[in-house]
Structure 1
Amino acid sequence: MARIGIIGSEGRMGQALARAITEAGHEVAGGVDQGGNTAALAEASEALLDFTSPAALETNLHAAIGAGIPILVGTTGLEERHHAMLDSAALAIPVLQTGNTSLGVTLLAHLVREAASRLGPQWDIEVVDMHHRMKVDAPSGTALLLGEAAAAGRGIDLAGNSERGRDGHTGARAEGAIGFASLRGGTVAGEHSVILAGEQERLTLTHVAEDRMIFARGAVAGAAWLIGKPAGRYTMPQVLGL
């Protein structure tokens, strides 16, 4: 049994995490929200779960480092400077950051990488995500995770080979580019498809999230797995042994 602390405990995801921790036979060490004492929570925990905001990342990482415990970060919308913070923290503690903690999405990313590596650049790749109307970032963290998997499979850099926000007369699609489309509406928990379109054939790999509990369960599995690991930057595929 592990004592796991929740940063952002009053939000919908925080409440789901509390249920998932109990479901898995672990103990909720406590929770904090904006303005709370994150350092005190870290001292009472064996691992931290952070699903808050990019603006809070630095404070949360410092709390985990101060207590010498691992942290799993599921916050999306991170920029280069946030990843630099994560890399720095990983020199001192185990850190796992991911755009999606679902075990199903983790396996999907593995399959996308395999497919992209075996099908040539003449197969166009499009990543489509749909989420509830309240989601503020696009493409979603999961869409970017899947795009990175496709790029890794092809041995290319995603930043220099992606197409987003098509509108008007855009010209022909660039060969080898990875396209993104984001849909927002209703109460959709999360739906992601990676389309590989070739000549006269098309392969679609899809994951549908029916409840945010799938993300909470995966996050708890990841946090528990981190306990006892040496300092470093870890990934969800490692949790699954991929």
Structure 2
Amino acid sequence: MIDIGINGAAGRMGRRLVALASEDEQLRVVTALERDGHELLGNDAGVVASVDAINTPLAAQVQNKPKVMIDFTVPEAFREALRVCRQQKIAMVIGTTGLTDDDYKAIDAAAEDIAILHAPNMSLGVNLLFALVGQVAERLGDDYDIEIVEAHHRFKLDAPSGTAMGLAEAICHATGKQIDKDFVHGRHGESTRKRGEVGMHALRIGDEVGRHSVHFGTLGEEITLAHKASTRDVFARGALRAAAWLADKPVGRYHMKDVLGL
């Protein structure tokens, strides 16, 4: 059995991680963290997740040290979890989005002491999409315009989404473009497209779980690569698979492409 921890275990993603981990014969949730003062502290994490009790209560601090901690929270909670995991030598799978440049530097620094896997999207399909988008952008070149469109529920805090930024980074890595120089966020007024620029567009609508598409177009044809998630379980299952994969890895920084062997 692989002992794992869930940070933000009473949140929407946290509950699904607990529930799905309880169905996995190789995983055991031994730590379920929530913020100090949370109204559900002390309750069994399995019951909170609407499954059978797992004998692990929601707690504000690590009580039983896991092999890997999974973090799907907000930047503030992630920062504290990173500090604790680095201090206690607990590997981390990080799915939190909206991180700053300083956060990425902190992840790099922590990866000198623990194994860390960070991905803007834990879906296996999306991570395959990252690879495909980079290949297409490299092969087609600037003769083809590129537009990235993402859609999420009305409550999402960050825009563009972490996944959209992951798609942008895949394009940059393949083509040498720069996000702060070659990307345009939305358009209004007189906005004739410039050769080589990449458009980024964010929709916030209803209860949309997650939809991403990358459009490559030139005069006469268009290619679209797209992914749609209909349930958050795809992200939870990907994170659990990543945690199982990371459990025996040495210190360092890893990505979902490593899990997939890409």
TM-score, length-normalised on structure 1? Answer: 0.95
Structure 1 residues 40 and 30, CA gap change in structure 2 (3 angstroms): closer
The gaps in structure 2 that reach 5 residues or longer are: 38-58
Contact 2:33 2:62 in 1 (8 A): no
Q: Contact 2:183–2:199 at 8 Å: present in 1 too? A: yes
Match of 1:145 in 2: 166
Q: Which residue of 2 aligns with 1:60?
A: 81
CA distance in 1, matches of 2:235, 2:243: 12
1:218 has 2:238 as partner: yes
Moved runs in structure 1, 4+ residues, more than 4 A? 36-39
Structure 1 residues 145-184: aligned runs within 5 Å: 145-169=166-190, 171-184=191-204
Q: Which amino acid aligns with 1:11?
A: G
Question: What is aligned with 2:54?
Answer: none
Q: Determine whether 1:40 maps to 2:41.
A: no
1:102 aligns with 2:123: yes
2:20 matched to 1:20? yes
Shift of residue 20, structure 1, vs aligned partner: 2.1
- Contiguous gaps of at least 5 residues in structure 1: none
- The alpha carbon displacement at 1:157 in A equals 2.3
Instruction: Give the Cα–Cα distance (whole angstroms) in 1 for the partners of residues 225 and 82 of structure 2.
Output: 34
Answer yes or no: is the 8 Å Cα contact 1:39–1:67 preserved in 2: no
1:119 equivalent in alignment to 2:140: yes
Match of 1:228 in 2: 248
Question: Partners of 1:230 and 1:159 in 2: how far apart?
Answer: 34
> Quick check: 2:35–2:60 contact (8 Å CA) kept in 1?
no
C-alpha distance in 1 between matches for 2:170 and 2:87: 33
CA contact (8 A) 2:33 2:61 kept: no
Q: Paired residue for 1:4?
A: 4
- TM-fit CA distance, 1:165: 3.0
**2:52 is the alignment partner of 1:51:** no
- What's 1:188 paired with? 208
Larger Rg: 2
Q: Tell me if the contact between 2:184 and 2:198 (Cα under 8 Å) persists in the aligned partners.
A: yes
Q: TM-score w.r.t. structure 2 length? A: 0.88
What is the aligned-residue RMSD (CA, Å)? Answer: 1.4
Query: Once the two structures are superposed, what CA deviation does each residue of 1:136-166 show, in whole Å capped at 9, x if it has no partner?
Result: 1111111110111111121222232111032
The structure 1 residue matched to 2:92, chosen from 64, 71, 77, is: 71
Higher relative contact order, structure no. (Cα contacts within 8 Å, ≥ 6 residues apart): 1
Cα distance in 2 between the residues matched to 1:22 and 1:84:
33
What amino acid maps onto 1:181 in structure 2?
H
Instruction: Mark the CA change 1:125 to 1:69 in structure 2 (over 3 Å): closer, same or farther.
Output: same
Matched length: 240
Q: Could you tell me the percent identity over the aligned residues?
A: 42
- The AA in structure 2 aligned to 1:192 is H
**Are 2:150 and 1:129 aligned?**
yes
Distance 1:33 1:22 in 2: 18
Report the alpha carbon displacement of residue 39 of structure 1 after superposing the two structures with TM. Answer: 5.0
**Greater CA deviation, 54-63 or 196-205?**
54-63
CA positional deviation for 1:38: 5.7
Paired position in structure 1 for 2:259: 239
Secondary structure (helix, strand or coil) at the match of 1:72 reads strand
